[in-house]
Amino acid sequence: NPMCGDMITFYLKINDQDVIERATFESYGCAANIATSSIVTEKIRGMKLEDAWKISWKEIADEVGGLPAVKFHCGVLAVGALRRAIRAYYKLKNVKPSWLPDELTFEEKQALEEEELAERLAKRVGVVEEGS
């Protein structure tokens, strides 16, 4: 998140029926960021991708026990990162299910903004990814 530097990456193992068999995450940030990411991975295991897509950041915030207003972005970022992972999966398969919106959601835009910021910062400090 550009405001505080939180980052989340989800890793999903998805079977042929589009069911999430395994979900893990990598998170850099505050306790609320880690907690919301953890809740997302627990919640989506065994879910179809379409159902996982429908999870809202407010639902995640409630499951954490509530978030103060200054931490709402953690729930938004967690859901956005999940949706970006789902969209990336279908892009790799070169398939677009009818339920997947053409436009990025608010949550996805927030996650994308975070990804772009991380890339700019990495370039600024001279960090190069493997294979580059």
Region 18-31 average pLDDT: 92
Domains and CATH numbers, the chain: 7-116 (3.90.1010.10)
Please give the residue that has the higher pLDDT: either 19 or 57: 19
Q: Which residues are catalytic?
A: 4, 74
Instruction: State the pTM of this model.
Output: 0.83
Flag whether pLDDT at 124 surpasses 60.
Answer: yes
pLDDT at position 25, please? 95
Q: CA of 108: how far to CAs of 97, 103, 126, 131, in Å?
A: 17, 10, 27, 26
pLDDT at position 71, please? 80
Quote the strand ranges of the chain, DSSP E: 7-14, 20-28
Cβ neighbours of residue 21 closer than 8 Å, sequence gap 6 or more: 13, 14, 15, 45, 46
**Pairing between strand 20-28 and 7-14?**
antiparallel
Q: What is the DSSP letter of 69?
A: G
Query: By mean pLDDT, which of 50-54, 100-104, 117-121 is the weakest?
Result: 117-121
pLDDT at position 125, please? 75
Q: How confident is the model at residue 30 (pLDDT cuts 50, 70, 90)?
A: confident
Angle (CA) 21-27-30 rounded to 5° is: 135
Flag whether pLDDT at 1 surpasses 70.
Answer: no
How many Å apart are CA 24 and CA 14, to the nearest integer?
A: 12
